[in-house]
Amino acid sequence: MVSEINDQNFKNEVLESDIPVVVDFWAPRCGPCDRMSPIYDKLSEEYKGRFKFGKLNVDENRQTAMKYYIMSIPLLLLFKDGQVVSSIVGAVHEFEIRMKVEALL
């Protein structure tokens, strides 16, 4: 299941998470973001309990988007122990996301 991340819950859901987290920075106006959504949903089910998946709408949560210098979307940031450890820019194949996730487990 993909969690809805926002400015208010970002610290608790991402930075203080006991397991690694992938945050999808997206916006409703983004066509490539829409195309990535089914892949993201699938991976969130596959890695349930071992990796957390969340989505943050950059149009509605500007504070967090600015903090992480989000300039283009879709952008995936991978967090472990509260730190960004990897990123994926743009619409990519499922394999690329899976490789980054597996590297953190």
Cα-based distances in Å from 78 to 24, 29, 34, 98: 9, 23, 19, 12
Q: Distance (Å, rounded) from C-alpha 30 to C-alpha 1?
A: 21
For the beta sheet containing 21-26, the strands, ordered from the edge strand earlier in sequence to the opposite edge, are 2-5, 52-57, 21-26, 75-80, 83-89
Active site residue 5: no
The catalytic position among 33, 76, 88, 101 is 33
Q: Is 42 known to be catalytic?
A: no
Q: Rounded to whole angstroms, how far apart are CA atoms 15 and 34?
A: 26
Active-site residue, selected from the candidate residues 14, 21, 22, 30:
30
List, by residue number, the catalytic residues: 30, 33
